[in-house]
Structure 1
Amino acid sequence: MCTSSETVYFSCQTAGAKSVGLCGAALGHLQYRFGKPGKLEFSFPPDGKDGARSMRLAHYFRYQVDRTEVTFSNQGNDYALYDYTEDGKRSAGVRVATAAGKEVDIACVKLVQSRLGELDGVLKCDADNALSMGACPTK
């Protein structure tokens, strides 16, 4: 989903040969993308310029558990791009909670590439996310 001139912070293939991506053209210029190669179905933000201001990062780590999420909201829908590893098992994808209360989990099925941890300090901490346990670390 990302171009050769962009940094791939997250990329994977889902069922139905669709892809999820979080791409960065410059520091702070992030864009979430979903769709098939050559047929983009959704991107946020549309211009990709203020992604760092509209997205949040949450991270939780302990022995044999590492969970990272990048979250954002668009038109009443809440998105959580996630990459979890627990007891050596990895799960990744995107969860969408609609304004109507429906939740959809679009799981990655293969080819997961993740550098979400590199966004620490670029994205604001999501203190409301359960992974942050109600507080963000001070630096």
Structure 2
Amino acid sequence: MLNDAPCVEQIALHDPTESVGKWTATVAVQRGMDPRATEVVDAQSGATIDPARQAIDALNNRCVRLLPVLLFAAEIMIPNASNKTGTSTNSRIVLLRARHGLSLNAVLRPVLAKYLIDYDSCVVVLPSSFDAVSWQTTV
């Protein structure tokens, strides 16, 4: 987007062995974006294109968008069922990568499912104040 208007340009793919990830980093630097915090998505479907794929196959004759992403750490505390008091917890810290504008619901639901944690029994809190955060809060 340039002045609230879509900016469309054709970019030649010079190296047939270059990966999508390397191409994304190169183009991001040329446009003043952080190469480690940028991903390429299909312009029509919004699906992220696998950075490990070869760019010549994945990007040829395709409209794509470069989107900034946010990296942040989340601590998942799982109550230990064996302790009678319930105060002991197992803790895992995971590094998450999410697009700007996604809700916490969309970002955390797959992670909670991976660790078999019931989504409805979870509460998201800020680390410094332990104030509860809504699942609809955007990243």
Q: Normalization by structure 1: what TM-score?
A: 0.26
Higher RCO (Cα < 8 Å, 6 or more apart)? 1
The structure that is strand-richer by fraction is: 1
Query: If the length of structure 2 is used for normalisation, what is the TM-score?
Result: 0.26
Q: Which is higher, the Rg of structure 1 or of structure 2?
A: 2
More helix by percentage:
2
